[in-house]
Amino acid sequence: MKFNNVTVAGSGVLGYQIAFQTAFHGFNVTVYDINDEVLEKAKAKFDILANAFKTDLKATDEQLAATKAKLIYNADLAEAVKDADLVIEAVPENPKIKIDFYEKLAKVAPAKTVFATNSSTLLPSQFAEYTGRPAQFVALHFANEIWKHNTGEVMKHPGTSEETFQSVFEFAKEIGMVALPIYKEQPGYIVNSLLVPLLSAALNLYVNEIADIETIDKTWMVATGAPVGPFGILDVVGVTTAYNINKMAADATHDPTKIKAVEMLKTQYIDKNKLGVATGEGFYKYPNPAYQDKDFLK
C-alpha cells in the first residue's frame, strides 16, 4: 500500500506541521479545515514554519518553494479527500468532534483511503466503528515541532490490519520521522504516557499554591538538565490542548484539583487569548520567554 496523496484534516498546532512536513518530503498534501478563514490563517503559519525549516534544517528556498507548491487547501471535505490515499486527522482533542468528523469522512472518502488519527490521549478503538473501515484505521502521533522532534508513533487498535499498520509505519519513515511501533493500545502512546503526568503534576503544584510557575520550571530544568520546564512545554503544546485533556480528566474523576486547574486555564489563559507560543503569550511571553534568559537558572 503506497501513499502519494495525503489529506491532513485540521490545521491547528500539529495539523499544519504534519502537512508541511509531509509536503517537504515530496507528497501531494491537501489541507482541510472547517472554513476558508481558518485555512488562510494556516497559510500564514506555513510562512513562519518555512523560516523554522530554514534555520533548523538549513532548507533551501528551492526546497521550500517546492514544499508550498505541494500544498493545496480545501474547506469542502468531499473535495479534500476525493483522491486521498491517506487521511491524517488532527481535529480538536474532543471525542464528540472526532466522532462527528469520522462519520462525515466515512461517507465521502474513497474505499482505498486509510485513516490515521493523531489524537494524543484518546484511543483509536473509540472511533474505529465510526470510520466505516476499522481495518484501515490506525493511530499516528507526532511530537510538537515535528521537524526537530521526529517521533512518529504508530499504534494499532485490535481491528487494524497488518498491511495498514506496516504501510503507515513506512510512511512515517518516508516523511522523516523515527517510526515507533506500538503494538497495543495505550492512552498517550509512549511520549504522552511519560509527558502528561509531568505536566499534570506541574499544574497541580501551581493551582494548589505550592510554588509559582517560574520556580516549578526552574526546579525541573536545574534538576534534570532539561532545556525547558513543564510550563514552557505547555506553551508549545498549547493551552487549549492542556485544557481539553484536563477537562476530560476533571469530568471523569471530579478531582477538586483538576477542576481548579481547568477553571484556572479557562479564566486566566483561554478567555484572555493567552494560548501559548501560537498567540505570543501563555505562561510566558514570546518570542523571548523568561526561561531562555541567561540568568533564569540562577
What Rg value do the Cα atoms of the chain yield, rounded?
19
Of 145, 125, 251, nearest in space to 187 by CA: 125
Cα angle 92, 258, 94 (rounded to 5 degrees) comes to 15
Active site residue 281: no
Instruction: Please state whether 273 falls in left (phi above 0), alpha (psi between -120 and 50) or beta.
Output: left
Active site residue 214: no
For residues 203 and 258, give the distance between their C-alpha atoms in angstroms, rounded to a whole number: 9
Termini Cα distance of the chain? 54
For residues 180 and 141, give the distance between their C-alpha atoms in angstroms, rounded to a whole number: 10
Q: In Å, how far from its chain's centre is CA 114?
A: 19
Instruction: Please state whether 84 falls in left (phi above 0), alpha (psi between -120 and 50) or beta.
Output: beta
Of the residues 89, 141, 167, 246, only one is catalytic, namely 141
Contact (Cβ atoms closer than 8 angstroms) between residue 52 and residue 147: yes
For residues 18 and 204, give the distance between their C-alpha atoms in angstroms, rounded to a whole number: 31
Active site residue 192: yes
Contact (Cβ atoms closer than 8 angstroms) between residue 1 and residue 25: no
Of the residues 118, 119, 144, 153, only one is catalytic, namely 153
Of the residues 28, 144, 192, 200, only one is catalytic, namely 192
Active site residue 157: no
Of the residues 120, 167, 200, 246, only one is catalytic, namely 120
What residues are annotated to the active site?
A: 120, 141, 153, 192
